[in-house]
Amino acid sequence: MSSTVRLSTDPFDPAEALRQFAAGVPQAGGIVSFLGQVREGGGVEALELRHYAPLTLPAMEALAARVRERWSLDGLLVIHRSGTMQPGEPIVLVAAAARHRRDAFAAADFAMDHLKSESWFWKREKVAGEWRWIEPRPQDIEDLARWA
Amino acid sequence: MSSTVRLSTDPFDPAEALRQFAAGVPQAGGIVSFLGQVREGGGVEALELRHYAPLTLPAMEALAARVRERWSLDGLLVIHRSGTMQPGEPIVLVAAAARHRRDAFAAADFAMDHLKSESWFWKREKVAGEWRWIEPRPQDIEDLARWA
Amino acid sequence: MALELVFLGRLEDLAGSSGRAVPFAPSLAAVIAALEPDLSAAVKEPRIRYAVNGTLVQGDVELREGDEVAFLPPVSGG
Amino acid sequence: MALELVFLGRLEDLAGSSGRAVPFAPSLAAVIAALEPDLSAAVKEPRIRYAVNGTLVQGDVELREGDEVAFLPPVSGG
């Protein structure tokens, strides 16, 4: 079981991260990944994620442990950016490798729903030169309820 | 809407394919991908997929059209190998890019279930030097029933 | 050459090759009847599907000179 | 320096910085009472959570010299 959880304050290359992850799980038949990136368009000029070091990475690691416990995986990868990002830049990459496709899909989906709604990140967006903090979205709470 | 459907008789590089796909959908917030690769271990020395040219690619394109119609996507990528593959080699890559995470997950999941069970590919495996044809798996039929 | 036959999946092993040319026969049923007995029986199994010139057909159909007839066992996925 | 306060998310804008040192106060409630009125009101909202030295706490807690107190508004995801 290969497991990597990373909180990155610098830009990362999701394609290269996935290549390395896939190379490390040759026994897995399938790998499901989710890549979240800063959307271009819609007027957002930049996005900033702040984290609180004593909580953020430990909680990501605890989430990864729950995912590994709930599904039978060959590997799990979680990389989350913190800091200021430009449109098009990657924010988060989750990948789950499993013998069975369904496990990989469910694990990646669960990990993303929980990262989005429960992780210790605070987000602000720069629109028309002004930074504003983003409140939690009701959709994220609904997504979470699917797993109860 | 970026849409690519490819039947490849040569090995392909899934990380590079994903990088190009992601670069082409900067307006999408999320990209879900599924990578299927030939499993190492279990005694399979090689895997061969045969296709029937007049049916296989047209049916993949028809499936992609159904996926694009059913979900609101910014992009869809389907690459499927045909020919002989070694353990560790990629077989199939599906990626769906969408504004909303749920759409991307569902579209990639649906596309894989239908590729696995309905696509015009015939598979054989080489075990202990002997090739044997693989019959359809009941699991694939069950997976398909989820979407009815 | 009058008709081209294509055998997919395990039918290829039974036929001994992935394709062959056969003398013209006026219908799919006539083509199947002219195959060696074990192959003929195998392609008549209910799960086998047929395509003529790349188009799936149901039941018996008439054929023309030069048609390609494909015998398609259940697919086994990617 | 006696206590270190950390403000996350929109509380940072209200506090004017992401952190500050304040004189020692014996409890979380005493720290909050000593903040400027608008910030004090904001950190008392029910959805604000608190951590002392990186550990979440519930309700009022006693503090010691050098403790780090973090004020955590609802998270807004990645």
With beta carbons less than 8 A apart as the criterion, state whether B97 and B31 touch: yes
Calculate how close chain A gets to D34, using CA atoms only, in Å: 23
Q: Would residue D78 count as lying in a domain? A: no
Any A CB within 8 A of B138 CB:
no
* Coil vs helix vs strand at B41: coil
Angle between helices B14-23 and A14-23 (to 10 degrees): 160
Is the confidence at residue A46, as pLDDT, over 80?
yes
Structural domain count, chain C: 1
Predicted pLDDT of residue A143: 78
pTM of the predicted protein model = 0.92
Q: Which chains touch B (3 or more CB pairs under 8 A)?
A: A, C
Q: Would residue D14 count as lying in a domain? A: yes
Q: Would residue D77 count as lying in a domain? A: no
| Partner-chain contact A135 D6, CB within 8 Å | no
**Residues B79-85, mean pLDDT to the nearest whole number:** 97
3-state helix, strand, coil in chain D (%, to 5): 25, 30, 45
Which amino acid, A21?
A: F
Q: Would residue D12 count as lying in a domain? A: yes
Range(s) of the domain holding residue C21 = 2-72
Is the confidence at residue A85, as pLDDT, over 70?
yes
The CATH number covering residue D55 comes to 3.10.20.30
With beta carbons less than 8 A apart as the criterion, state whether B123 and C76 touch: yes
Q: Would residue D36 count as lying in a domain? A: yes
Express as a percent the part of chain C with pLDDT over 70: 96
From CA B59, how far away is CA B68, in angstroms rounded?
14
Is the confidence at residue B80, as pLDDT, over 60?
yes
Predicted pLDDT of residue A131: 95
Is the confidence at residue A75, as pLDDT, over 70?
yes
Predicted pLDDT of residue C1: 57
- How does pLDDT run across B31-66, given as a tens digit for each residue? 999 999 999 988 999 999 999 999 999 999 999 999
Predicted pLDDT of residue B23: 94
Structural domains of chain B in order of their starting residue, each with its CATH number: 2-142 (3.90.1170.40)
| Partner-chain contact D78 A122, CB within 8 Å | no
Contacts with B100 (C-beta within 8 Å, 6 or more apart), sequence order: B29, B30, B72
Q: Least CB-CB distance to B35: which of A26, A31, A40?
A: A31
Contacts with B44 (C-beta within 8 Å, 6 or more apart), sequence order: B38, B87, B125, B126, B127
Is the confidence at residue B118, as pLDDT, over 90?
no
Q: In what order do the strands lie in the sheet with D49-52?
A: D19-22, D3-7, D68-72, D49-52, D55-57
- How does pLDDT run across B3-20, given as a tens digit for each residue? 999 999 999 999 999 999
Q: Would residue C77 count as lying in a domain? A: no
Q: Which residue has the higher pLDDT, A137 or D8?
A: D8
| Partner-chain contact B39 A14, CB within 8 Å | no
Q: Would residue C78 count as lying in a domain? A: no
Predicted pLDDT of residue C78: 62
| Partner-chain contact B35 A37, CB within 8 Å | no
Please, which pLDDT band fits residue D1 given cuts at 50, 70 and 90? Answer: low
- How does pLDDT run across C25-50, given as a tens digit for each residue? 999 999 999 999 999 999 999 999 99
Predicted pLDDT of residue B28: 94
**Residues A12-32, mean pLDDT to the nearest whole number:** 95
Whole-angstrom distance between the N-terminal and C-terminal Cα of chain B? 26
Predicted pLDDT of residue B139: 75
Predicted pLDDT of residue D78: 62
Which of A116, A17, A60 shows the shortest CA–CA distance to B33?
Answer: A17
Which of B148, B137, B59 shows the shortest CA–CA distance to B110?
Answer: B148
Please, which pLDDT band fits residue D36 given cuts at 50, 70 and 90? Answer: very high
Predicted pLDDT of residue A136: 79
Calculate how close chain B gets to A108, using CA atoms only, in Å: 9
